[in-house]
Structure 1
Amino acid sequence: MSYHRRRRNKNKILFFILIIAVIIGIPVIYKSVTDKESIGNNFMSSIITPNESTAKTLEVGLDDYLKAPDVNYKLYSKAPKVKGLYVSAPTANNAESMNRLIDIANTTEINTFVIDVKDDSGRITFNIDNSESDEINAEVNYIKDINDVLDKLYENDIYPIARIVAFKDPWASKKIQDYAIKNKDGSLWMYKDVSWLNPYNKDAWNYVLDIAKKAAEVGFKEIQFDYIRFEATRKLQDADFGVDGDKTRMEVIAEFVDYAMKELEPYNVKVSADVFGTIITSKIDAKAIGQDYLEMARKLDVICPMVYPSHYGKGYFGIPRDKHSDLYPYETILGSMNASNDKYKELGETKAAVVRPWLQAFTAKYLGRGNYKPYGGKEIREQIQGVYDAGLEEWILWHAGCSYTTDGLLKEQ
């Protein structure tokens, strides 16, 4: 299905033509009518004496006709089978960089861009006209003209997803400390010098969701939450969440997902969330960060496990115990996605989220010699094949610097 967006200039031209036609046509109709004396007075009155609603219509000026109506994005609600790229906000704002990525989409199987709207620093990447974020100066406007960016995506049939970092937010958590995780002495809780919004705090939920709603209003067709979790550290035991602790971390994150789905439903967008790949098989990891794989899958439209081979370690999915998973891209993805399939069997006939994994398009040199390999077209294709061999159809590539190669991507049919 095409995702072309209606262009305002086209609407203006059509309305201008309409007005000219009306201006030219009225004298012709009037002359034709007055020349024909056989036409009865009743018929004449029906032409030159408008009723009240018609009169109101005729009072509309030329300027009103030249204003383009709002785009009805319901026309573009059907999502493709996503094959996507992550795109940072500075990249989206750079015409040359965006043209390069759009060219990749136009010549390969890529059909989706995931663009930062609220990034890891807590900053909002374009002007969303929101009083709360304005008050704390959260908007940095990396993207000068979001409408222009989205126009280009629609024109090139590229499905637009808004990436919104939820609770990792060192900006808003410092500016509005009532929304933040605290220490027991009331000071701001931090881990590695980064403060977080409190997932137990519903005002923090609404702050995040107000940004998501603005993203939907400008034309993003999917809202994808990242860091929709707690920090992965035991130091959270020292934190004060301002609650009695009746609800577990997993219950709180699941409640946020449920709330987000209801709040975003009127905006006709899909809702997805990024999750740790290890929560699929590790109850310990799931409890620590608050991500219950199946409970989230029951609520979301799409769930996106981050299953980068570099993020596992040695001995996973049948890989030799002395070999790092980064050296085995196909085996890691196939194994993790088969683990997801096995987990999904617990749902029975319950409808669940589409599984769309994040794949690795970067080289993990930080793992050290002998534990990593360069990731080029071959390694990317092996991961994609692992997705398909597990019976899944969608995937997204991650490279923090948005430096993607077409090697390993199929050419557009």
Structure 2
Amino acid sequence: MKKTSKILSILLCITLFSTLLVGCGGSMGAFNSNQDQGKIEDSANLNEDTNGEENEDNKENPELEVEQPTVAKFVSPYNIQYPDAVRGIYVTSHSAGGARFEKLLDLVTTTDLNAMVIDIKDDHGYITYPLEDGHPYKDLSRRNIKDVPAMMKVLEQHQIYPIARIVVFKDSVMAQIKPEWSFKENGQVWKNRRGESFINPFLQEVWDYNVEIAKMAAELGFKEIQFDYVRFPEGFENRDDSLQYAFGAYKDRKPTKLIELEETYQVEIASYQKNHSELLQLKESLQGNINRLDAEIAQAASQAPAQGTNTPTAKDPRKAMLEKEMLDLNKRITDLEKRKPKEPNFTAKDMNVHARVDAVTDFVAYAKEQLKDYDVQVSVDIFGYTATLPEAPGIGQNFSKISSNVDVICSMIYPSHWTNNYFGIPRPDIEPYRLVKEYIKMENAKLAELPKPPVSRPWIQDFTASWLGSGNYKVYGKKEVEDQIRALNEDGVWEFLLWNAGNNYTQGVNYVPIGKKPQ
């Protein structure tokens, strides 16, 4: 009962904390005051002697612009540079804070690896390092990484690029604490078949909660914030009608997709109307020519007996030519009318589907903006298949839109996670080189369409997917990992991350880039 009371007691704190963020525009003072974890510096020189009085120079020069104080910038206490190209491994919080860390450290320092992606908010929703008493999120924290500053100093010593992984919308812990932030079914917090719950991407409070944790990670000294599970639950489009949840600011908002379609329709219908009008005018003119020729033929016929001349007939070649022109013109008009643009017509379900894409995209853009003063890169993990589709509105992911709002896009392209015959590959897990090769060509083309494409840093597979069943998988080792890296390098992608859920990585892999090493 005591623990339940403590958890319930933070509910009000969380809501108030989100509200305070808007007013303060910053992160928690408790972290700002910690010299080991970072500081906030204001580069403006404020005159404390004016006591609010008007500056004398401004009295004499009323048109003189007053220089505004610059926005406070976070300065990390750790000097860790971005490497030539990130080549990293996933590290659970238990590994980062336990005996396995030394083994992983040895792997990175004795190979061409140079980065670690470390859980800071894990797949359950827990913050993975201890927070001080009185902190609003104290009861959500665990002691998996007991001494983050000590860990960061080791990473700095070895120039290992630290990336904080924050699992965003998959959050079973917060879903139970604040059911109104989650999805409900029959009055209870909904769980997927793995017993996991999600919090609602439509809600600003949910955004602020996760962004605050990201700011905390930046203040710990992490050089990059990597958001994972930036989506609605898989298969959400099949259950959205049966779940109860709030839409927040998206309740009555027209989806961006509909706005784009309406704008496209206005352009297309204007062009159609112009072309249609021109063709009708041409038809009217042509009909006039035919009428005049008919009148000429009729007049000539009436005068022919008296004058004794040859009479033009209905088979006058000019008439035949004009009639052919009329047939061709009528066909052009009919073909154009068949292609008349249709006005967009979104059903309520359509509105919901595309609102999900807006919510996910808007969160990413918001997080990037909120973190701009923390001197960190922002990356997002995304399903690889989204790059092969216009968008995946069921889960709310649009590859191009998310990519436009991050510094790094991390597509999860594990060969084991593609259905049979994708890219024409019968069993993708059996052919890691071919799968990655086919995928990265599509991703490169998709990113090339963007004005400012992010860095591509895919997640690749360093595990054996035996659950696929006999004949559908192979044991992954040195060759399979190197084949994936080679496929990326050959198409100009130099960065990658290795995934193994248990952090048991293959030994003896050559991670050195193939070809000219990127500068």
Tell me the TM-score normalized by structure 2: 0.62
CA distance in 2, matches of 1:153, 1:128: 21
Q: Which residue of 1 aligns with 2:10?
A: none
| Worse-superposed segment, 358-367 or 209-218 | 209-218
CA distance in 2, matches of 1:77, 1:410: 19
- Determine which of 163, 166, 174 is the counterpart of 2:165: 163
- Retained in 2: the 8 A contact 1:378–1:407? no
- Retained in 2: the 8 A contact 1:317–1:331? no
Partner-residue secondary structure (3-state), 1:287: coil
1:235-384 equivalence runs, <5 A? 235-243=239-247, 244=251, 246=253, 247=255, 248-283=355-390, 286-319=392-425, 323-347=426-450, 350-384=451-485
Q: Do residues 215 (structure 1) and 316 (structure 2) align?
A: no
- Retained in 2: the 8 A contact 1:376–1:407? no
Partner-residue secondary structure (3-state), 1:220: coil
CA distance in 2, matches of 1:161, 1:222: 5
**Cα offset for 1:290?**
0.7
- Evaluate the alpha carbon distance shift between residue 382 and residue 245 of structure 1 in structure 2; reply closer, same or farther with a 3 A threshold: farther
Q: 1:65-100 CA distances to partner (integer Å, 9 max, x unpaired)? A: xxxxx97448546454100000011111123x2121
1:146-157 equivalence runs, <5 A? 146-157=148-159
- Determine which of 58, 75, 94 is the counterpart of 1:90: 94
Q: Do residues 231 (structure 1) and 233 (structure 2) align?
A: yes
Unaligned residue ranges in structure 2 (runs of 5+) = 1-34, 37-73, 256-354
Unaligned residue ranges in structure 1 (runs of 5+) = 1-7, 10-69
CA distance in 2, matches of 1:263, 1:170: 25
CA distance in 2, matches of 1:352, 1:345: 7
- Percent identity of the aligned residues? 38
Partner-residue secondary structure (3-state), 2:240: helix
- Evaluate the alpha carbon distance shift between residue 351 and residue 88 of structure 1 in structure 2; reply closer, same or farther with a 3 A threshold: same
1:393-408 equivalence runs, <5 A? 393-408=494-509
Q: 1:259-284 CA distances to partner (integer Å, 9 max, x unpaired)? A: 10111111111010000011111346
- Name the Cα RMSD after superposition: 2.2
Q: 1:90-139 CA distances to partner (integer Å, 9 max, x unpaired)? A: 111123x21211111111110000000111111111024483322xx211
**Cα offset for 1:173?**
1.1
CA distance in 1, matches of 2:217, 2:192: 29
- Retained in 2: the 8 A contact 1:228–1:274? yes
CA distance in 2, matches of 1:72, 1:205: 24
CA distance in 2, matches of 1:396, 1:160: 12
- Retained in 1: the 8 A contact 2:167–2:229? yes
Write the letter of the residue equivalent to 1:240. Answer: Q
CA distance in 2, matches of 1:312, 1:274: 16
Q: Which residue of 2 aligns with 1:187?
A: 188
Write the letter of the residue equivalent to 1:333. Answer: V
CA distance in 1, matches of 2:512, 2:362: 42
Tell me the TM-score normalized by structure 1: 0.77
- Retained in 1: the 8 A contact 2:80–2:159? no
Q: Over alpha carbons, which structure has the higher Rg?
A: 2
**Cα offset for 1:245?**
6.1
1:70-219 equivalence runs, <5 A? 72-73=76-77, 75-76=79-80, 78-95=82-99, 97-129=100-132, 131-134=135-138, 137-183=139-185, 186-192=187-193, 193-219=195-221
CA distance in 1, matches of 2:512, 2:492: 21
| Worse-superposed segment, 275-284 or 142-151 | 275-284
- Evaluate the alpha carbon distance shift between residue 278 and residue 410 of structure 1 in structure 2; reply closer, same or farther with a 3 A threshold: closer
CA distance in 1, matches of 2:389, 2:129: 37
Write the letter of the residue equivalent to 1:337. Answer: I
**Cα offset for 1:225?**
0.5
